[in-house]
A and B are shown apart, each in its own frame.
Chain A
Amino acid sequence: MTTTTPSIEERAGADGERSTISLVLRELRKAPLTAWFGMLVIFAYLFVALFAHWVAPYGESQVFDTPYANWAYIPHWSWLGPIPYWVTFEPTGSEFLLGTDQLGRDMLTRLIYGARNTIGIAVATTLLSFAIGGGLGILAAVRGGWFDQILSRAVDVLMAIPSLIFALMLLSIFGSSVLNLIIIIAILDSTRVFRLSRAVAMNVVVMDFVEAARLRGERLAWIMRREILPNVLPPLVAEFGLRFCFVFLTISALSFLGVGIQPPTADWGSMVRENATLITYGNVTPLLPAGAIALLTVAVNFVVDWFLHKTSGLRDEH
């Protein structure tokens, strides 16, 4: 007993053709404020990252002779009342909008280039980890049997080792180039993607339309790409957003520990580390890259939450 039959008939009677764009626009109009905020932030970040050359006021590693320039005045209570701690304090709105770092490089410029490097590497890593994990996950679900068993147990073994420590170890063995960083984090992260895509694909593989494709004689690749992938895509896209955040944090953490992105390349994680000691002197400079990381993570999560809600069931899809 369903109650949807009349509405299906009505809709079918109206028109069969409808464009994907108008559907997307309709969904966007209904999106909650948090999702809008998230999308706005993400687009701003992407814009800045893509056009870093034009947006940034100075060069990526251009050094000025005014290190430790603070951009804000933090009251430091003492016997004498609030006093500025650093003599090289530059007031807001001067030539360095957000001050300078420990070597005298413009903070704003570093942040902008950091967006390009960190986000770029995070996106590349997440894409690679989804290509590996998603592909193998769906393949394991379709093939089943010993193939699935071997792959799943191998993934279990990988997941049993704390990934940050494992990454540290591998990076110190292979050296911390950007390429190594991307490959190592992608492989370690693909285990989680594998688990998810295998689980979701398992539910699709048992459907009769997959059996129908098999009976037709379709090849494995076609079944994976055309019959299964479109049906597992919504949860995977949502997961992409989440994994992106984690990869992003992992890279930042590795950079903070000194094995991630190497100087002088601007990167938010290493920027936090390099300026970390300043915090004890009431200088907020290290909080800027940390804040940039936090804001992006929150924004991506807002969008992912909304997307997950939209696609939690296929019934919302028509």
Chain B
Amino acid sequence: MSTSMNGKAASATGAAEDVLLDIRGLRIEGQSDDVWSQIVKGVDVKLVRGRVLGLIGESGAGKSTIGLAAMGFARPGCRITGGEIYFEGTDIRKLSQSEQIRLRGRRIAYVAQSAAAAFNPAHRLIDQVVEASLAHGLMTREEAVARAIELFGRLGLPDPENIGNRYPHQVSGGQLQRIMTAMALAPRPSLVVFDEPTTALDVTTQIDVLVAIKNAIHAEGASALYITHDLAVVAQIADEIMVLRHGRMVELGATDDIISRPKEEYTRDLVGIRQIHKTEGNGLAREPLLFVDGVTAAYGNALTVLHDVTVFLPQAQTLAIVGESGSGKSTMARVITGLLPPRKGVIRFQGQNLPPRLADRSKEQLRVLQMIYQMPDVAINPRQKVREIIGRPLDFYFGLSGRERDARVSELLEQIELGRKFLDRYPAELSGGQKQRVCIARALAAEPRLIICDEPTSALDPLVADGILKLLLRLQAETKVSYLFITHDIATVRAIADSVCVLYRGKVVRFGPKAEVLAPPFDDYTDLLLKSVPEMQVGWLEDVLKTRRMESAGN
């Protein structure tokens, strides 16, 4: 299948075009537990000069590994076992180590996901940006600095003349990511590999970086491999998209074709996500289950994180708390659960005031309020079996033990679509999505009235996240549980919320039923937030830039 698809792509772009990168039958093995297994199973990649190819897939699809292989590099624990990698006509794999090193950083550059980890915190930014040009003897230092300043300007960084004199910790995450792009582009490479450059950024910052990268690539006339798990993001920047899964190519085509006319079922699933829609309950008038009344909260004496926040949530409904990082979303969860007693205000639950401190709450008050975390990897004890993880709340709150408890655990496992064969697994034997399901079962085991969900899907692959959202909706219909859903993703809000609260720097900007909050007229911040969520549509990025009213905090 891969050869026929490749043939089509080649004929579409025209055989006469200047092929910059041509990878044929690439095979890469990875080592785990002393056993080598194939993680890239014969993939062909062809990139024409001046174009951008998006590589997309879930974790384990092999997309980063392919991106690194384009530079002739394999991570420790990986080895390239087959295939040819032609870059500008020469097979990189046949080059000597020193010849490969001369290519890297000069003809091929790499932009990593975490800019904070990629910069040396002890050196000024400008010194690191010009390093590659100087090391390869391409420019004098004056030329290299001038080139860096030119790129800083092109990438939309404030004060391009002087920003290079700062240290990495003195600029924001979005700026650092753009400076890393400048570092990659400085020696005028013909190929840049972007490995999830915007994934770690806030949603409002993400599109600024995306625009900067897109403009810079076009202005420089460079080619790029753009690796991401987010189809909507890659649709904004790539000319062609290759969908990968389990180390094999699923589909290759022009961006527009992949988005609007996907052929393979897997691609259709990827395009089809974010289309869950919940009809909103009309219950804000009813007696609320949870009432957060005028809460002000602070860490220590100096830093006030929440300012006079008032929100409420009726039974069997979902309240979404939306905002970027630092807006106080997670602090709100800590206040409601009692981990951080509020400075002012009260939390009412089922009409009663909850004691502000966790230690003062009764077992019953604890039981009805459960929590699901963002990172399922650290939310369950790696040394306990699933039986113990889900069984403990049953034992603790209801005194169940032995066979009775196991029966109930099996029932819960069925409810989260896993089944009783998972009883004796350790967390290390579960995938990310399965772990999150176990977390959900642990929360359900307490038979709570309210579950606080702290970004439960943001660490998961899109399809897996979709499954979790559907599960949460079904469980709400079955058990009449309420959710307080913390997220930064408006698409998730659309999918599951009944009412929405937009937080910005610890203040409630907007609060009300979903239909009202997500309908115009918007305040400036909600407008920015809504317009920052990439949509699965070519040309969306340009539209947004024309219409939005507020610059993101990154600038």
Contact = CB atoms under 8 A, between A and B. Distances in A.
Interface of A: 1-9, 11-12, 16-17, 207-209, 211-212, 214-218, 226-227, 230-231, 314-315, 317-318
A122 to B, nearest CB: 29
27 contacts: A1-B60, A1-B63, A1-B64, A1-B196, A3-B32, A4-B32, A5-B431, A6-B39, A7-B37, A17-B424, A208-B373, A209-B378, A212-B379, A215-B338, A215-B339, A215-B369, A215-B371, A216-B366, A216-B396, A217-B361, A218-B396, A230-B384, A231-B382, A231-B383, A314-B428, A315-B428, A318-B429
A11 B425 CA distance: 11
B366 A209 contact: no
Contacts of A318: 426, 428-429
A212 B371 contact: yes
Given A209-B379, A209-B381, A216-B396, A4 B60 contact: yes
B246 A6 contact: yes
A303 B371 CA distance: 42
Contacts of B337: 215
A3 B30 contact: yes
A217 B396 contact: yes
Contacts of A207: 378-379
Nearest to B363: A217
A5 B428 contact: no
A110 B286 CA distance: 85
B59 to A, nearest CB: 5
Nearest to B334: A211
B423 interface: yes
Interface string B422-457: 111110111100000000001000100000000000
A205 to B, nearest CB: 12
B34 to A, nearest CB: 9
Contacts, number: 96
B60 A209 contact: no
A214 B337 CA distance: 10
B64 A212 contact: no
B65 interface: yes
Interface in B406-426: 421-426
Contacts of A231: 381-383
Contacts of A1: 59-61, 63-65, 196
- Which DSSP category, helix, strand, loop or mixed, fits chain A's interface? helix
B237 interface: no
A183 B378 CA distance: 38
Contacts of A17: 424
B378 A214 contact: no
Interface string B90-105: 0000000000000000
B174 to A, nearest CB: 22
A212 B451 CA distance: 12
Nearest to B64: A1
Contacts of B392: 216
Contact of B381 (A4, A217, A230): A230
A3 B58 CA distance: 11
B393 interface: yes
Interface string B205-230: 00000000000000000000000000
Interface in B24-43: 30, 32-33, 37, 39
A272 to B, nearest CB: 43
Instruction: State the 4 A-B residue pairs at the shortest beta-carbon distance, nearest first.
Output: A318-B428, A5-B60, A230-B383, A208-B379
A227 B59 contact: no
A223 B12 CA distance: 62
B442 A5 contact: no
Given A6-B246, A7-B32, A216-B393, A12 B429 contact: yes
Contact of A212 (B33, B63, B442): B442
Contacts of B371: 212, 215
Contacts of B384: 226, 230
Nearest to B29: A3
Contacts of B379: 207-209, 212
B160 to A, nearest CB: 32
A89 to B, nearest CB: 56
Q: Which among B39, B382, B430 has the greatest number of chain A C-beta atoms within 10 A?
A: B382
A12 B430 contact: yes
A215 B442 CA distance: 12
Nearest to A229: B383
Given A217-B363, A227-B381, 10 more contacts: A1-B65, A3-B39, A3-B78, A4-B60, A8-B428, A212-B371, A215-B366, A231-B381, A317-B428, A318-B426
A306 B281 CA distance: 60
A318 B377 CA distance: 14
B375 interface: yes
Contacts of B134: none
B235 interface: no
A184 to B, nearest CB: 34
B471 interface: no
Contacts of B426: 318
A6 B37 contact: yes
A209 B380 contact: yes
Contact of B65 (A3, A4, A7, A209): A3
Nearest to A217: B366
Contacts of B246: 6
A207 B374 CA distance: 12
A16 B418 CA distance: 13
B469 interface: no
A9 B422 CA distance: 12
Contacts of B375: 208
A221 B298 CA distance: 29
Interface in B510-527: none
